[in-house]
Amino acid sequence: MQRHRGARAGVTAAGGDCGRRKTVVNHTIASAALDALQQWGNHPCLVELRDAKNALPVSADELRRRILDASAQLSRWGLQRGTLVALFLENSIDFVVILLALVRLKAVPVFGKLEYRTLELNEVFENSNPPVVISEQHHLSLLEPYLRGRTVISRTDQAVRLVQQRAEPAEPADLADEVASVNYTYRGYGYPLGALVSHQQYLDGARVLQEEGLQAASGDRMLYSIPMSHIFTLVGCIMVPLLYGLTGIIARTIHPRVLFDAIDELRIQHVTAVPELYALLRRAAGDSTQLPSLQAFVCGGSVLSDSEYHALRETFGVEVLHGYGLTEFTPVSRNSRGKARAGTVGPVCQGVECRIDSKDGSAAGEILVRTGSMSAGYYRRPRESRQSRAGDWLRTGDIGHFDGDHLVFDAEVKLTCKVNGVIVDLEEIRRALCLDPDIADAIVRAHQNSVEAEIVPARHFALNEKISQIRASLKQLLAPYKVPKTINLQR
151 is a domain residue: no
C-alpha count within 13 angstroms, C-beta hemisphere, residue 359: 2
Classify residue 240: in a domain, yes or no: no
> CA 164, 170, 175, 180 torsion: positive or negative?
positive
Structural domain includes residue 24: no
Residue 30 lies inside a defined structural domain of this protein: no
Q: Are 298 and 271 in contact (CB under 8 A)?
A: yes
Region 399-404: mean pLDDT is 96
- C-alpha 178/C-alpha 403 separation (Å) is 35
Distance (Å, rounded) from C-alpha 110 to C-alpha 128? 8
CATH number of the domain to which 434 belongs = 3.30.300.30
Residue 14 confidence (pLDDT) above 60: no
Confidence (pLDDT) at 462 = 84
Is residue 338 predicted with pLDDT exceeding 70? yes
Nearest Cα residue to 484 out of 396, 417, 408, 388: 417
Residue 427 lies in domain:
417-489
In a domain, 169, yes or no: no
Is residue 462 included in any domain, yes or no? Answer: yes
Identify which of 133, 75, 83, 135 has the alpha carbon closest to the alpha carbon of residue 101: 75
Does 26 score more than 90 pLDDT?
A: no
> Is residue 131 domain-resident?
no
Specify the pTM.
0.93
CA distance 231 to 228: 8
CB 397 within 8 A of CB 412: yes
Give a yes or no: residue 322 inside a domain: no
**Which pLDDT tens digit goes with each residue over 134-186?**
999 999 999 999 999 999 999 999 999 999 999 888 899 999 999 999 999 99
Average pLDDT for the chain? 92
Residue 362, pLDDT above cutoff 90: no
At residue 157, the pLDDT reads 92
Number of domains within the chain: 1
Among the residue ranges 64-68, 71-75, 361-365, the one predicted with the least confidence is 361-365
What are the tens digits of pLDDT across the range 416-428? 999 999 999 999 9
